Chain A
Amino acid sequence: MEIRGKGAKAPRAPFTPYPPYPLYPFKMIELQNVSKSYRTDTIETLALQHMNLSVPAGEFLSIMGPSGCGKSTLLNIMGLIDEPTEGSVSLAGKEVTSYNGTKVARFRNEQLGFIFQSFHLINDLSVVDNVELPLLYRRVGTKERRRLSLEALEHVGLSNRAGHFPTQLSGGQKQRVAIARAIVGRPNIILADEPTGNLDSHMGDEIMDILTRLNTDLGTTIVMVTHDERMAKKTHRLVRLSDGERVS
Chain B
Amino acid sequence: MLNHLLKLMWNKRRANGLIFLEILLAFVVLFGVYAFGFYNLERYSSPLGFSYENSVGVHMDLPDDMDSVAVERLQERILRETRELPGVASATFLGPVNPFGGNTWSTGSDDNGFHLQTMMVFADENYAETLALEFREGRWFTEADQAGKYEPIVVNGKFIDEYYPTRASMIDSIIQINGEKKIVGVVDNYKYHSNFAENRPLTFFSPRSWKADGQNPFEQLIVRAEPGQTAAIEEPIYNLLSSLTKNPDVVIWNMAEDRIKANRPVVIPLVILISISAFLLINIALGLFGVLFTQISHRRAEIGLRKAMGATPAEVTTQFVVEVVLVTLAGLLLGTFFAIQVPLLELLPIPAKFFYLGIGAAVATILLIVVLCALIPSRQAAGLQPALVLHEQ
Question: In the assembly, what is the distance between CA of A72 and CA of B386, in Å?
Answer: 13
Interface residues of B in 1-56 (CB under 8 A from A): 1, 3-4, 7-8, 11-12
Question: In the assembly, what is the distance between CA of A185 and CA of B307, in Å?
Answer: 15
Q: Is the CB of B309 within 8 A of A114?
A: yes
Q: Is the CB of B390 within 8 A of A106?
A: no
Interface size, chain A (Cβ < 8 Å): 29
Question: In the assembly, what is the distance between CA of A142 and CA of B313, in Å?
Answer: 22
Q: Is the CB of A108 within 8 A of B387?
A: no
Q: Which of B1, B308, B313, B315 contacts A81 (CB 8 A)?
A: B308
* CB within 8 Å for A105 and B393 given contacts A82-B385, A125-B7, A129-B4: no
Q: Is the CB of B393 within 8 A of A120?
A: yes
Minimum CB–CB distance from B385 to chain A (whole Å) comes to 7
In the assembled complex, which residues on chain A have CB atoms less than 8 Å from the CB atom of B306? 133, 137
Minimum CB–CB distance from A135 to chain B (whole Å) comes to 9
In the assembled complex, which residues on chain A have CB atoms less than 8 Å from the CB atom of B310? 105-106, 108-110, 134, 137-138, 185
Q: Is the CB of B393 within 8 A of A108?
A: no
Q: Which of B308, B387, B393 contacts A118 (CB 8 A)?
A: B393
Interface flag for B149 (CB, 8 Å): no
In the assembled complex, which residues on chain A have CB atoms less than 8 Å from the CB atom of B12? 124
Interface size, chain B (Cβ < 8 Å): 27
* CB within 8 Å for A137 and B309 given contacts A81-B387, A102-B314, A118-B393: yes
Interface flag for A79 (CB, 8 Å): yes
Contact with A along B313-331 (1 / 0, CB 8 A): 1110000000000000000
In the assembled complex, which residues on chain B have CB atoms less than 8 Å from the CB atom of A118? 393
Query: Which residue of chain A is the closest to B305 with respect to CB atoms?
Result: A120
Q: Is the CB of B313 within 8 A of A101?
A: yes
Q: Is the CB of B307 within 8 A of A129?
A: no
Interface residues of B in 308-358 (CB under 8 A from A): 308-315
Interface flag for B302 (CB, 8 Å): yes
Minimum CB–CB distance from A248 to chain B (whole Å) comes to 25
Question: In the assembly, what is the distance between CA of A101 and CA of B310, in Å?
Answer: 10
Q: Is the CB of B305 within 8 A of A137?
A: no
Question: In the assembly, what is the distance between CA of A134 and CA of B305, in Å?
Answer: 10
Interface flag for B301 (CB, 8 Å): yes
In the assembled complex, which residues on chain A have CB atoms less than 8 Å from the CB atom of B73? none
Query: Which residue of chain A is the closest to B310 with respect to CB atoms?
Result: A109
Q: Is the CB of B308 within 8 A of A108?
A: yes
Question: In the assembly, what is the distance between CA of A118 and CA of B390, in Å?
Answer: 9
In the assembled complex, which residues on chain A have CB atoms less than 8 Å from the CB atom of B308? 79, 81, 108, 114
Q: Is the CB of B307 within 8 A of A81?
A: yes
Question: In the assembly, what is the distance between CA of A137 and CA of B305, in Å?
Answer: 12
Interface flag for B391 (CB, 8 Å): yes
Interface flag for A76 (CB, 8 Å): yes
Interface flag for A136 (CB, 8 Å): yes
Q: Is the CB of B307 within 8 A of A105?
A: yes
Interface residues of B in 365-393 (CB under 8 A from A): 385-387, 390-391, 393
Question: In the assembly, what is the distance between CA of A132 and CA of B7, in Å?
Answer: 13
Contact with A along B284-312 (1 / 0, CB 8 A): 00000000000000000110111111111
* CB within 8 Å for A125 and B11 given contacts A82-B385, A120-B301, A120-B393: yes
Q: Is the CB of A133 within 8 A of B309?
A: yes
Chain A to chain B contacts (Cβ below 8 Å), 26 pairs: A81-B386, A82-B385, A101-B312, A101-B313, A102-B312, A105-B307, A105-B312, A105-B313, A105-B315, A108-B309, A108-B310, A109-B309, A109-B310, A120-B301, A124-B8, A125-B8, A129-B4, A129-B7, A132-B4, A133-B309, A134-B309, A136-B1, A136-B4, A137-B309, A137-B311, A142-B3
16 more A-B residue pairs beyond the given contacts A125-B11, A136-B1, A137-B315, with a C-beta to C-beta distance below 8 A: A72-B391, A81-B385, A82-B387, A105-B313, A106-B310, A108-B307, A108-B308, A109-B310, A114-B309, A120-B301, A120-B305, A122-B305, A124-B11, A124-B12, A137-B311, A142-B3
Question: Which 7 pairs across A and B sit closest by C-beta, in order of nearness?
Answer: A109-B310, A82-B387, A137-B310, A81-B386, A105-B312, A76-B387, A124-B11
